[in-house]
Amino acid sequence: MGIKMAAATVLHDVAAACLRQPLSLPRTTAKEPRFRPGLAFPHLYGVSQIKEQCSKWQWKGRYSINYFVSSSSSTNPALLLVHGFGASIPHWRRNIDTLAQDYTVYAIDLLGFGASDKPQGFSYSMEAWAELILDFLNEVVQKPTVLIGNSVGSLACVIAASESSQNLVRGIVLLNCAGGMNNKAIVDDWRIKLLLPLLWLVDFLLKQRRIATAVFEHAKQRDNLRNILLSVYGNKESVDDELVEIINGPANDEGALDAFVSIITGPPGPNPVQLMPRINLPVLVLWGDQDPFTPIDGPVGKYFSSLPSKSSNVSLYMLEGVGHCPHDDKPDLVHQKLLPWLAQVTAS
């Protein structure tokens, strides 16, 4: 088997970085949700409308950052939606309309993703994304904000909240929070220990430009993306052509390959286990029980499962039949838990 075939063999593990990391949640009894089922799949903010309403913000005077803001003028604290690896603002297509009824909703494309810049030679890191979030809150939102993130977006929100020295962050919502920028962060999981040689091989192969290009081109093909998404979504009907295009479109931008390689091969960054003790804000953790890339019994998951008994500010809910991206997988279940929590947090 040649080098090209070897790269193809590890493709699934590499591409799966778009939607992964371990965490776990216990079952918890929730109070009656402030939720109307008819709003599960609203359409006022479809993907085209979301894109049309996006604006640009210059970060550090150098990088163009794409962001969305709803037309709501609510006096409630704002919400900032932060996508996961490989995704972008339209991944919140099934949530913005519902949330915008009571809140001013912002969403951001992290540097390296979506319609934001993908600068050549940039060393991507969790810390850089957290800094981006805090600067965005300070310069653009300019009011107390609840951060809502998925996967690595969740971890970026945790880092931002732990470092915020101002009253910018009102609370955080973690949807399948990542343990690091890549799987090398979870070194105390026996499964990752077994895979470490493979992960090192992936790093080595991806640093070879020709191999990285071949892997990336293969990974972003629509049929391959669809298969990966089907493997991480509990509700297979949510994996539609629109979702595939949300992931595929930005992957064709100049700089997307460099971002992909930098994130997969770079340092994993801070671990949420080290950061959560610094956070006294209200925290809501929602976790899909069918996420193959974030096993419930992983070390980070066990840590989060123990938090409610130690920290009164943390609430956790397991979402049955849901995969790695709960907000898009089964948005109605997310809204049932999220809306009452938001109402309570923003009223205090």
Which CATH number characterizes residue 206's domain?
Answer: 3.40.50.1820
Which tokens sit at 209?
Answer: 């430009």
**Structural domain contains residue 15:** no
Instruction: Supply the pLDDT for residue 15.
Output: 39
Indicate the range of 75-89, 121-135, 178-192, 287-301 predicted with least confidence.
178-192
Task: Give the highest mean pLDDT range of 4-8, 186-190, 211-215.
Answer: 211-215
pLDDT at 202: 64
- The answer to whether residue 38 is domain-embedded is no
Question: Of 41-50, 155-164, 313-322, which range is least confident?
Answer: 41-50
| Number of domains the chain contains | 1
Across 43-47, 185-189, 281-285, the highest mean pLDDT is recorded for 281-285
Task: Please check whether residue 31 lies inside any domain of the structure.
Answer: no
Residue 9 lies in a domain: no
Confidence at residue 185, expressed as pLDDT on a 0 to 100 scale? 55
Give residue-wise pLDDT tens across range 203-243.
656 677 888 888 889 889 999 999 999 999 999 999 999 99
pLDDT tier at 5, thresholds 50, 70, 90: very low
Give pLDDT, residue 38: 39
Q: How many CB atoms lie within 10 A of CB 277?
A: 11
Q: Give the burial string for 50-81 (b: 16+ CB within 10 Å, else e).
A: bbeebeebebeeebebbbbbbeeeeebbbbbb
Q: What range defines the domain where residue 225 resides? A: 43-347
Q: What is the pLDDT of residues 60-97, one digit of tens each?
A: 999 999 999 997 777 899 999 999 999 999 999 999 99
> Is 36 a member of any domain?
no
* Residue 17 included in any domain: no
Residue 324 lies in a domain: yes
**Whole-angstrom Cα distance, residue 24 to residue 174?**
12
Residue 5 lies in a domain: no
Check pLDDT > 80 for residue 274: yes
Mean pLDDT of 312-340: 96
The predicted pLDDT at position 194 comes to: 58
pTM: 0.85
